[in-house]
């Protein structure tokens, strides 16, 4: 019987509440599908700053490295907004991505059938369904490049460096092509190759790797055009692969287009099988502790963990099916619609366990 070690980084705001529900669901899945899970907890973000002075204590990195996977709630909040840049909760997030080598961020933007009315885009454009997988490079580019202050003509200035090496692009391209092969075999590589040198290297490299995947239909799109096309006709996309910063912007845009932002999960993967899984929404400090947060994105992050890191695809499918079923009649306040039952964070967790 497989035994997995999972580190929980509950984080700040609603983080603890939503992670607790996801753990309940994972426990239930482990009974049903015959594996065991051992949990450990560690600090990241604001709670880590409060307890240790830094957003990413060494102990957290060590624990995560030893685990089969990591489940993260959410980090940040106004309480830590006045910390200096390198000591903010966000720095912890970037730090853990770097420390664990989580170079591939998978961010599905999907519409859940029971929530299809929630998209801000007109029904005739959305056509009732959407299923885009955005593959964002997560440990390179301008988020990890050199930066600093300088002077230009005697005036203060600041700079950041967008940089990509061929191996960095190769490995993220392979992740995207592999995913496309398992989906509709369509990949859009997004860059700004008409201006940026790093984008030209990106495009050359993706083109070369595409030879290994003759079945995948590859096209290229400039980032500005992609930002438009996601609004004009999101259904044209299957898998999108792009740099760290473009992926940040486009995946947030795409998740809003799905209208299901409180429902979306994400996976951050390394070269090894282990990964970090988290909802894409934030720590929502305004509703923290009220017990009304929506735990479904975190529960669906557990499903992604089972699929990508723990080799339990059946358990993953079962959780996703349970969520879709529960959604038909039950809603946390953020996704409430007339005619459904309004439930708390904990009730939602219980309902998913029952449906499992």
Ligand X SMILES: CC(C)[C@H](C(=O)O)[C@@H](O)C(=O)O
Q: Does 321 contact its own copies by CB under 8 A?
A: no
Q: Tell me if 283 is assigned to a ligand binding site.
A: yes
Q: Which helix (H) or strand (E) holds 8?
A: strand 3-11
Cβ within 8 Å of residue 210, ≥6 positions away: 173, 177, 187, 216, 218
Among 302, 296, 346, which Cα is nearest to 325's?
296
d(CA 59, CA 65): 10
Catalytic annotation present for 143 = yes
Map the footprint of its own copies across residues 165-204, applying CB under 8 A. 165-168, 192-198, 200-202
Contact status: 253 vs ligand X (CB under 6 A): no
**Which partner, ligand X, its own copies, none, binds residue 285 by CB below 5 to 8 Å per kind?**
none
Binding mask 171-210 for ligand X (x = CB under 6 A): -----------------------xx---------------
Kindly identify the residues of this chain, within the stretch 223-282, that bind its own copies according to CB under 8 A: 223-225, 227-232, 245-246, 248-253, 255-257, 261
Q: Which stretch binds its own copies (CB under 8 A): 10-18, 119-127, 288-296, 343-351?
A: 119-127
Q: Which helix (H) or strand (E) holds 191?
A: strand 186-191
Residues 6 or more apart from 225 whose CB is under 8 A from it?
Answer: none
**Under rule CB under 8 A, residue 161 binds its own copies:** yes
CA 147 vs CA 105, 141, 160, 195, 269: distances in Å: 23, 11, 4, 20, 25
Is there a catalytic annotation at residue 12? no
**x/- map, 271-310, ligand X, by CB under 6 A:** ----------------------------------------
How far, in Å, CA of 203 to CA of 306, rounded?
A: 32
Whether residue 200 is annotated as binding a ligand: the answer is no
Q: Is 4 a catalytic residue?
A: no
CA distance 308 to 289: 31
Q: Could you tell me the sign of the dihedral formed by the alpha carbons of 199, 203, 205, 210, in that order?
A: positive
- Can you tell me the distance from the alpha carbon of 143 to that of 121, in angstroms, rounded to the nearest whole number? 31
Q: Is 89 annotated as a binding residue?
A: yes
93 binds ligand X (CB under 6 A): yes
User: Among residue numbers 216 through 245, which ones bind ligand X (CB under 6 A)?
Assistant: 224
- 81 in contact with ligand X (CB under 6 A): no
Instruction: Give the residue ranges of the annotated binding site for substrate.
Output: 97, 107, 136, 224
- Kindly list the residues in this chain that would bind ligand X in the complex (CB under 6 A): 90, 93-94, 194-195, 224, 248
């Amino acid at each position: 019987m497989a035994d997995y070690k999972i580190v929980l980084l509950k984080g700040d705001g609603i983080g603890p509440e939503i992670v607790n529900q996801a753990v309940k669901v994972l426990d239930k899945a482990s009974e049903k599908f015959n594996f065991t899970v051992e949990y450990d907890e560690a600090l990241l973000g604001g709670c880590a700053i409060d307890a240790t002075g830094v957003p990413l204590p060494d102990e957290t990195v060590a624990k995560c490295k030893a685990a089969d996977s990591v489940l993260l709630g959410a980090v940040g909040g106004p309480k830590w907004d006045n910390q200096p840049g390198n000591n903010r909760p966000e720095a912890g997030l970037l730090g853990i991505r770097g420390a664990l080598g989580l170079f591939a961020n998978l961010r599905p933007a999907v519409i859940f059938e029971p929530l299809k009315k929630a998209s801000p885009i007109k029904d005739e454009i959305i056509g009732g369904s959407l299923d885009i997988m955005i593959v964002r490079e997560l440990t390179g580019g301008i988020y990890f490049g050199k930066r600093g202050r300088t002077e230009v003509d005697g005036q203060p200035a600041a700079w950041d460096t967008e940089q990509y090496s061929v191996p960095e692009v190769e490995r993220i391209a392979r992740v995207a092509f592999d995913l496309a092969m398992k989906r509709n075999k369509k990949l859009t590589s997004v860059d700004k190759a008409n201006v940026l040198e790093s984008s030209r290297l990106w495009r050359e490299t993706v083109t070369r790797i595409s030879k290994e995947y003759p079945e995948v239909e590859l096209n290229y799109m400039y980032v500005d055009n992609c930002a438009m096309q996601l609004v004009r006709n999101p259904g044209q996309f299957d898998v999108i692969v792009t740099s760290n910063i473009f992926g940040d912007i486009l995946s947030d845009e795409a998740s809003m287009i799905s209208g299901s932002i409180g429902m979306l999960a994400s996976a951050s993967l390394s070269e090894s099988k282990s990964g970090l899984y988290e909802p894409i929404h934030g720590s929502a400090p305004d509703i923290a502790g009220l017990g009304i947060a929506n735990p479904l994105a975190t529960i669906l992050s557990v499903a992604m963990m089972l699929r990508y890191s723990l080799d339990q695809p059946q358990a993953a499918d079962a959780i996703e099916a349970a969520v879709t079923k529960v959604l038909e009649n039950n809603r946390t306040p953020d996704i409430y619609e007339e005619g459904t039952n309004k439930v708390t964070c904990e009730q939602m967790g219980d309902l998913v366990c029952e449906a499992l």
